[in-house]
A = this chain, B = another copy of it.
Amino acid sequence: MSLEQKIADAVNTYIGAFESGDLEAIMGIYADECSVEDPVGSPVKQGREAVREFYQGAMSMGVKLKLESEIRIAGNEAAFAFTGSVDLGESIMRFNPIDVMVFNDEGKVTSMRAFFGPTNSSTESK
């Protein structure tokens, strides 16, 4: 399988893992040495333990993701725009990041950075 195909598979696994609440599937796309900066500008989570803790938090909030458009793959990196949503009971919170992932030669993620800020989220009543 080409690196490009591995990268596309990893991103699709990532998006789908939120739907099914599968933390192990998320951790499965990450390399042994990995970091997450989410959002960009916040402290970087370094290493699998810190990364797992971060996603565990997202999972417990019931975050769901939906790709907005095609995955951009260039060299050993990928960028993709998506919408995240969290059901807050009376309302739904949405946020619209662009994630950039860097992959190693085996197609595992060594770094993820999530681009979004105050202008990229909203809350609406159900």
Contact = CB atoms under 8 A, between A and B. Distances in A.
Interface in A31-65: 39-41
A58 to B, nearest CB: 17
A53 to B, nearest CB: 21
Interface residues of A, number: 30
Given A68-B81, A69-B81, A74 B114 contact: yes
12 contacts: A8-B119, A39-B75, A69-B96, A72-B115, A72-B117, A73-B117, A74-B117, A79-B100, A80-B98, A81-B81, A98-B98, A100-B100
B79 A115 contact: yes
A77 B100 CA distance: 12
A117 B71 CA distance: 10
A117 B74 CA distance: 5
